[in-house]
Amino acid sequence: MTKPSLAVIIPAYGPSPHLRLVLSALFAGTDRPDEVCVSHSGSHDPREWLAGEFPQVRALHSPERLFAGAARNRGAAEVNAEILAFCDNDTLPQPDWAQRIRGHFAERDGVFLVGSVGVATSGGYWGMATWLCEFSEQAPWRPEGEQPGGASCNMAVHIDDFRRVGGFPEDYRAGQDTMLLHRLRESGLKQMFDPRVEVRHCNIAGFGHFAQHLANQGRHFAKVRRAAQLPGHTAVRFWPLAPALGLAKGARIVGRIAAAGRFGTLLARLPGIAIGMAIWAGGCTYAAASRRFTGEY
């Protein structure tokens, strides 16, 4: 079995305090990728220290901020491997991450891959609540199989398929991964989830980040549904229905946790999930209503 060549793209913004840990974990794995590209923007240009500590990494830098989709596209344009794998500057690939990605594409055609997102640092109560609200569908305890959800902090795709659909949209602060996955499925590919292909997320502590992040996620959920007919688009277009999306999303999160038999986690985190979904629904409703009355998000 011939395994395809693999390039890993890591978008980074500003100080990126976990980037060293991410690269160290990547190169300590059982299978090193053929190419690694860090696509950085904003302050704290990392090219000098990357050249000294990780000379095998191709480092790009833009002094002006790039949203994550634009940073990923810029990195993807610089590599030549058959398979593109994406992780983030705060997600640590597990030792067999690259090996499993190669094996997945060696064995299957007509698919792309999303992996699981575990926890590297908890971030306390609100960090874990954020993680559950954002990544419950990609938790390591979720079953393997075809699924529509996914996150660009752990996905892989054949480079030809990526380029054929135009890569990530570049004007989305969040939700650019949802749009790319939708475009790939619309092109005829199957989206497969493999929980064994795992990265672990460095959660951020504090209620302030929790609230800001989930409000932003809700706003961009509305933006994506304005652009594509994905689940929830009807409620976004008829904005008074948008608050119900928070109830539906919260119910799915609770159902996933319960289905995994993690009732202790559910009891402990339910207040945080409920507050998070109220904030998310507020962001979604605000964006949907703003679009209705002003044409702006």
User: Above 50 in pLDDT, residue 116?
Assistant: yes
Q: Residue 249: CB partners within 8 Å, gap ≥ 6?
A: 277, 280, 281
Tens-digit pLDDT profile for residues 19-30: 999 999 999 999
pLDDT at 172: 82
Judgement on whether residues 136 and 263 belong to the same structural domain of the protein: no
User: Above 90 in pLDDT, residue 90?
Assistant: yes
Q: Which helix (H) or strand (E) holds 35?
A: strand 35-41
Beta bridge partners of 37: 9, 58
User: Above 70 in pLDDT, residue 188?
Assistant: yes
User: Above 50 in pLDDT, residue 209?
Assistant: yes
Three-class secondary structure assignment of the chain: CCCCCEEEEEEEECCCCCHHHHHHHHHCCCCCCCEEEEEEECCCCCHHHHHHHCCCCEEEEECCCCCHHHHHHHHHCCCCCCEEEEECCCEEECCCHHHHHHHHHHHCCCEEEEEEEEEEECCHHHHHHHHHHHHHHHCCCCCCEECCCCCCCEEEEEHHHHHHCCCCCCCCCCCHHHHHHHHHHHCCCEEEEEEEEEEEEECCCCHHHHHHHHHHHHHHHHHHHHHCCCCCHHHHHCHHHCHHHHHHHHHHHHHHHHHCCCHHHHHHHHHHHHHHHHHHHHHHHHHHHHHHHHCCC
Average pLDDT over residues 84-98: 97
Judgement on whether residues 179 and 245 belong to the same structural domain of the protein: no
Identify whether 273 is part of a domain. Answer: yes
Judgement on whether residues 146 and 274 belong to the same structural domain of the protein: no
Identify whether 190 is part of a domain. Answer: yes
Q: Checking DSSP bridges between strand 154-158 and strand 6-13, what pairing results, if any?
A: unpaired
Identify whether 174 is part of a domain. Answer: yes
Average pLDDT over residues 201-217: 97
Judgement on whether residues 176 and 38 belong to the same structural domain of the protein: yes
Please state, rounded to an integer, the average pLDDT across all residues of the chain.
Answer: 94
Identify whether 68 is part of a domain. Answer: yes
* Between 124 and 239, residue with greater pLDDT: 124
Domain boundary among 202, 225, 251: 202
Identify whether 218 is part of a domain. Answer: yes
pLDDT at 284: 95
Identify whether 241 is part of a domain. Answer: yes
Judgement on whether residues 33 and 75 belong to the same structural domain of the protein: yes
Tens-digit pLDDT profile for residues 267-283: 999 999 999 999 999 99
Domain boundary among 173, 202, 231: 202
Q: Where are the beta strands (DSSP E) in 171-227?
A: 190-202
Tens-digit pLDDT profile for residues 226-240: 888 888 999 999 989
Average pLDDT over residues 33-41: 98
pLDDT at 291: 59
**3-class DSSP state of 44:** coil
User: Above 50 in pLDDT, residue 241?
Assistant: yes
Identify whether 103 is part of a domain. Answer: yes
Q: pTM value?
A: 0.93
Of 16, 15, 8, nearest to 197 (Cα)? 8
pLDDT at 294: 46
pLDDT at 293: 45
Residue ranges making up the domain that contains 235: 207-294
User: Above 60 in pLDDT, residue 93?
Assistant: yes
User: Above 80 in pLDDT, residue 217?
Assistant: yes
pLDDT band at 16 (very low <50, low <70, confident <90, very high): very high
User: Above 80 in pLDDT, residue 32?
Assistant: yes
Average pLDDT over residues 145-173: 93
Q: How many domains does the chain have?
A: 2
Identify whether 1 is part of a domain. Answer: no
Q: What is the CATH number of the domain that holds 22?
A: 3.90.550.10
